[in-house]
A and B are shown apart, each in its own frame.
Chain A
Amino acid sequence: MSRIQNVSRRGFLQGMLSGGALVLGAYFSPGVVRAAPTVDTPADRAAFHPNVFLGIETDGTVYIIAHRSEMGNGSRTALPRVLADELDADWNRVRIVQAVGDPRYGSQDTDASASIRESFEIMREAGASARFMLLRAAAVQWSVPVSECGSGLHVVRHAPTDRQSTYGDLASAASRLPVPKKEDLQFKPRSAWRYIGKDASLYDLEDICTGKAQYGNDVRLEGMVYASIERPPVLGGKVKSCQDQEALRVPGVRQTVLIEPFKPPHALQPLGGVAVIADNTWAAFQGRKKIKVVWENGPNAAYNSDQFKKELQQTARQPGLVVRNEGDVDAEFAKGGKIFEAEYYLPHLAHATMEPPVAVADVRDAQITVWVPTQNPQSVQETVAQAMGMPKENVTCHVTLLGDGFGRKSFGDFAVEAAVLSKKLGQPVKVVWSREDDIKFDYYLPVAAVYLKAALNSGGKPTAWLQRSAFPPINSTFDATAIHGGWELKGNWIEAPYDIPNLRIENGPAQAHVRLGWLRAVASNYHTFAVQSFVDELAHHAGRDPLEYLLDLWGPPRILNLNPPHYPPEPGHPLDIGRLRRVAEMAAEKAGWGKRRLGQGHGLGIAAQRYSFTYVASVVEVEVTDKGELRIPRIDTAVDAGTAINPAYIKAQLEGAAVFGTSIARSGEITATNGAIDQSNFYDYPVARITEAPYQTNVYVLDSEAPPSGVGEPGVSVIPPALSNAIFAATGKRIRELPLSKHRLQ
């Protein structure tokens, strides 16, 4: 797929470079003509620049490009370490350079827990090809066969003559050599890995702890003004009239600007509204309180969550679109016998990233520069370019650190707002979203109703299994007519890795009335909650141990091959029931499942899944007090994400996922009344604090030689069902609808 080519580029730079270095370019997908890179990085300018991800200066400084976004996921550290490992570079001499949006890096979309999975090989290739060229350069200098040369830390050595040369010294000579073909590269054996599999701190750790780290909200430009935008409370609403006289009297307020409503589908376009422009954020916020906008709301004003819930539950009870079908579920159900059915429900969720959306734009003539905490800078380029009617090559998107992403910052609507305003005002503009804006104008996780039905044999094991979900699809954001799930149905929902002969999976239609989007762990939040709760219910129904029942349901260790078109297999990531069993058994063993003595009011619950090709299981311990208060003393999570790059941050991600999942389970609920979102800030959209979070999450990383998979999301969606199952174990109370705050637990 990816290939590093010897393409000469940017000859005009050569005169500026030490050693008259030849600057080489590297491209993905050979044959595809790419747009010219918009920004030279220190890596591009370095003396030795064998590919787009890397540059080595003659002083030995190694510049490595971070092409994915950093939002706490750790990829800005992990991916450069993969490259540094193959290069045999000294990590202390590595400087990481954040990439602007630029197709020469391939996909920069930082979502779906995919950064490591999608970039591992190309980073290794980039490092290995540079190392190969450094070895060759040394061999030529010493007139020895390259096969006798080897790399040490930041040096090339020739053992027979005991000679050594540093990477810095070799940089210029290496730059004059051809880039090797991938077939000729020698990759390190796993046993020689320096960094892969070893714990590492974040590259930005000290900057974060000292307040120096630059997030989107920290960008300041000369002559920059601040904007706060009053947006239509109902999706598709338009400004009927606006009175801004009082706002203009607020000291520091300069003017108001109308932002046009979007043309359906809304996709990544701004919602429209009225922007208040001011000298600082506070003045913009104050001015905004004083404008009076009358809205024309449109048809989505009929959206009421209570009513919609009833409709959605009704839909989930009806036959839907069949997306997978094996055996004959109906015939099995018709036999009668023991039939068990249950319905589950999850409301909309908001992302509530610690840093609300924010963007700075500077539009000058035909050049648009934006600074955005974005998960997808190339998408920002495209979206901004489209909105401004300019080619995307004219848009430079700088990626700052992100104060969380969770999928919200995959949507570049806020960057477009900034660009539109900067163009109108002719000066740099920062658009600041308040927390209220963030909660009220999110791309919400869809609300979902899930219906499950099983016919059970005498041992309580299902002989037929029907799972059906209904939710407005995320694809409605891009296609106004979409009513069926697409992407949501893939992954672990359609995989349904059960040893059951008759199995059917269906999807019911639903219309979207608010903006919908991906939120960490996406559809597995409702699907895994339903399925893993249902399995626990079946186990108790059969009088069996939930862990033993789960293992029986999956069946013996094997590779499960699902037939296309249901589930086109992902190369390198077969569905391995053995790995799934192993994480469940490991989490249970570490948690003392069935062995540990628990106090009064305590209970254990388990849930497991494969998500983003990662196998994960959590055992949650709860304590429910006499007053019905819930505490989570401990969670044990086992994770198999294939080859572990940075185990320290795999653990951190899974610890964090436990807290994120706890927030969803305890209090995550977004509702709408007459089309407008009811919640607005952390007082009515609470997230877990230190007092509500699990006290201790122990994470066990099962390293393997399988290709690396993702760790950002998988750990999130096992938590709500494991927590709910633990509450059942502690109290006998079964929760089929989240959040828990709606229920009395005593």
Chain B
Amino acid sequence: MIQVKVNGVERSFHGDREMPLLWYLRDVLGLTGTKFACGMALCGACTVHRDGEAIRSCVVPVRDVAGAEITTIEGIAEKGLHPVQKAWMEFNVPQCGYCQAGQIMQAIALLRSKARPSDQDIDELMSGNICRCGTYQRIRAAIKAAAKGAS
């Protein structure tokens, strides 16, 4: 059995310990905000936080998050909207929106490590997240705005 806290709720998992966290979240817990897109940590759509750090849930087995605190897009704002979500809305970032939960989770983790990110920081830390609609320039603008708003 594996104990893990997901969005503040203690959970026990009795299934396959090798199951990637993504499928535990989506298929078992029904938290479908975290998306499947590549299954190989190549695109970032499945990004969630493990103890505040961004991980690709499609390649992290449940056994590796035992005792950890997992936060998904559903749990990122304690009340209302997270400032990064607000920035995303202000800049009309999403088109189809499928990758955006992952982008937002990655951006929040980025801003925790770099409060005032440069273009280079953003390139470096967001390049693992693919957006096929091509919303990158708005992602960059929204991250900068969120950074400004927070300072």
- A689–B127 CB distance below 8 A: yes
Are B97 and A213 neighbours in the complex by a CB distance under 8 Å? yes
Query: B126-145 toward A: CB 8 Å interface, digit per residue (1/0)?
Result: 11111111111111100000
Q: Is A693 an interface residue (CB 8 A)?
A: yes
- A670-693 residues with Cβ-Cβ distance < 8 A to B are 681-683, 687-691, 693
The answer to the question of B16 belonging to the interface, with a C-beta cut-off of 8 Å to chain A, is yes
Q: Give the chain A neighbours of B127 by CB distance below 8 A.
A: 689-691
Contact check, A404 vs B30: say whether CB atoms are below 8 A apart. Answer: no
Q: Which of A282, A404, A682, A697 has the most CB of B within 10 A?
A: A282
Task: Report how far A694 CA is from B128 CA in the complex, Å.
Answer: 16
Q: For the side of the interface on A, what is the size category? A: 35 or more
Given known contacts A212-B33, A252-B16, A281-B36, A693 and B96 CB-to-CB distance under 8 angstroms = no
Q: How many angstroms between the C-alpha atoms of A683 and B98 in the bound complex?
A: 20
Q: Which chain B residues border A260 with CB–CB below 8 Å?
A: none
Q: Are A659 and B136 in contact (CB under 8 A)?
A: yes
Do B37 and A356 touch (CB < 8 A)? Answer: yes
Please tell me if A499 contacts chain B, counting CB pairs below 8 Å: no
Instruction: Say yes or no for A652: interface residue by CB 8 A criterion.
Output: yes
With contact pairs A211-B74, A681-B42, A693-B136 given, residues A217 and B32 touching in the complex (Cβ less than 8 Å) = yes
In the complex the two chains form, what is the Cα distance from A690 to B98 in whole Å? Answer: 16
Q: CB of A660 within 8 A of chain B? A: yes
B134 in contact with A688 (CB, 8 Å): yes
A402 touches B96 (CB 8 A): yes
Majority-rule SS of A interface residues: loop
B22 CB to closest chain A CB (Å) equals 8
Bound CA–CA A355/B132 (angstroms): 10
Tell me the bound Cα distance from A659 to B99 in angstroms.
15
Partner of A220, one of B32, B33, B37, B72: B32
Distance in Å from the Cβ of A652 to the closest Cβ of chain B?
6
- CA–CA, A212 to B76, complex, Å? 13
Q: Is A648 an interface residue (CB 8 A)?
A: yes
Closest to B33 in A: A211
Give the docked Cα–Cα distance between A682 and B40 (Å). Answer: 9
A205-B92, A209-B85, A656-B135 known; A282 and B98 CB under 8 Å? Answer: no
Mark A704-738 against chain B: 1 for CB-CB distance below 8 A, else 0: 00000000000000000000000000000000000
Across the interface, do B134 and A660 meet the contact criterion of CB distance under 8 Å? Answer: yes
Instruction: Assess whether B101 is interfacial by the CB under 8 Å rule.
Output: yes
Contact string, A468-483, partner B, CB cutoff 8 A, digits 1/0? 0000000000000000
Instruction: State whether the Cβ of A462 lies closer than 8 Å to any Cβ in chain B.
Output: no
Is B137 a contact of A209 with CB atoms below 8 Å?
Answer: no
Q: Contacts A210-B73, A404-B96, A657-B134: A681 and B32 contacting too (C-beta < 8 A)?
A: no
Q: Which one of A659, A696, A697 has the highest number of Cβ atoms from chain B below 10 Å of its Cβ?
A: A659
A210 touches B74 (CB 8 A): yes
**Does A681 contact B99, Cβ atoms closer than 8 Å?**
no
How long is the Cα–Cα vector from A436 to B40 in the complex, in angstroms?
Answer: 10
| Closest beta carbon of chain A to B142's beta carbon, Å | 10
Min distance, Cβ B54 to any Cβ of chain A, angstroms: 15
What B residues does A218 contact at CB under 8 A?
Answer: 32
Report A-chain residues with C-beta under 8 Å of the C-beta of B72: 211
Q: Does A354 contact B (CB under 8 A)?
A: yes
Q: Does B9 contact A (CB under 8 A)?
A: no
> Which B residues fall within an 8 A CB radius of A?
15-16, 19-20, 23, 26-28, 30-40, 42-43, 45, 72-74, 77, 81, 85, 88-89, 92-101, 104, 122-123, 126-140
Residues of A within 8 A of B (CB): 70-74, 201-202, 204-206, 208-215, 217-218, 220, 226, 251-252, 280-283, 285, 352-356, 401-406, 432, 434-436, 648-649, 652-653, 655-660, 662, 681-683, 687-691, 693-697
Q: Given contact pairs A211-B101, A354-B37, A405-B96, enumerate 19 new A-B contacts (beta carbons under 8 Å).
A: A71-B96, A72-B94, A208-B94, A209-B85, A210-B74, A211-B73, A252-B16, A280-B23, A352-B132, A353-B132, A356-B37, A435-B37, A436-B39, A652-B135, A656-B95, A660-B132, A682-B40, A690-B140, A696-B137
